[in-house]
Amino acid sequence: YEMSAWFALVDGRYEQLIEFAQAGQTLSGASSAGVQLTLQEAKGWSRLGDHKQAEAALSRGAEMLNGMPVPAHPEHHFVFDHTKWMFYASTCYVWLGDDDRAEEHALEVITQHVRPDGSTNAPMRVAQSRINLGIVAARRGDLDQAVSYGHSAFAYERRSLTALTSSSGD
């Protein structure tokens, strides 16, 4: 279900994304997969502009995550931790037009993942967070800051398709 939800997100099939995510949640229970599917659902609702449903899914994901032990290996792709939740939430808030919350969450992701020397253990999370900050800055009319965030997002070698296309129409 997670992969089907992901493909639906990338393809712009948001109603199907929600269906896949909800179906997967019925099987996953309180687990990293359950959090992932709940936040995928939040992304679908965010893309559809449904603030109430998106916020409800984000809240369910946070509650589920808070009830789980802190992961021993948060760097593992299939493990969910607090900063991954913040990362997903930031993008949802950008899509919903809630710039203050998007900015708050993106800055927290960057704070948690950028080392003092500027390197990171999560290049794609940091890059997308910087794109989110760039979108927020552009909406606020600070084009120099938006460009700066955009340039810094491409400083890392790894890039995802959603990082390059997720803000279309914004």
> Mind listing the pLDDT tens digit for each residue in 68-98?
888 777 666 677 788 889 999 999 999 999 9
pLDDT tens digits along 132-155: 999 999 999 999 999 999 999 988
> From its phi and psi, is residue 61 left (phi > 0), alpha (psi between -120 and 50) or beta?
alpha
pLDDT at 24 over 80: yes
Which pTM does this prediction carry? 0.87
Contact assessment for residue 9 and residue 1, using Cβ atoms and an 8 Å cutoff = no
Please say whether the dihedral angle defined by the alpha carbons of residues 156, 160, 166 and 169, taken in this order, is positive or negative.
positive
Amino acid at 125: R
Q: Of 2-6, 25-29, 40-44, where does the model show the most confidence?
A: 40-44
Contact assessment for residue 58 and residue 92, using Cβ atoms and an 8 Å cutoff = yes
pLDDT at 170 over 90: no
